[in-house]
Amino acid sequence: MDHSEDNDTPVDVLTQEEFTQIIIRRQKLASSANIRRTMLLESATLMLDNDTRYDDLFGKHGGSKPGKKPNIPRNFEAAYQQLYQHYFSDTPLYDSRLFRRRFRMLKELFLKITDSV
């Protein structure tokens, strides 16, 4: 521990070796967690393949229920086109400021996320 000359509060100073050891320990922990997660997923997949079928676990869709209202028709393609024209076309109707206000995210961040998916 180092003491600052201006005040009496202690300041922790890590050496390069200590910092390296901390990073290595954290990488090992992350690695072992990823290994455990992968093994768990592989085990679950094997159990599903060997013991039961997917349909046995989740059943089949029951279909429409009597007395229920039919689904409301929604024009998803037109909504997509409108969203594209409003925010993502070469000459958008709304600017980046309004995009951020509506979606609470920078347009650049949104595009970065969609590019990486």
For residue 38, the model assigns a pLDDT of: 73
Q: What is the pTM of this model?
A: 0.40
Give the sign of the dihedral formed by CA 25, CA 27, CA 33, CA 38.
negative
For residue 18, the model assigns a pLDDT of: 79
Inform me whether the pLDDT recorded for 81 exceeds 90: yes
Contact 3, 11 (CB under 8 A): yes
For residue 79, the model assigns a pLDDT of: 92
Task: Compute CA distances 92 → 6, 33, 99, 110, 111, whole Å.
Answer: 55, 44, 10, 16, 15
What average pLDDT does range 80-105 have in this prediction?
92
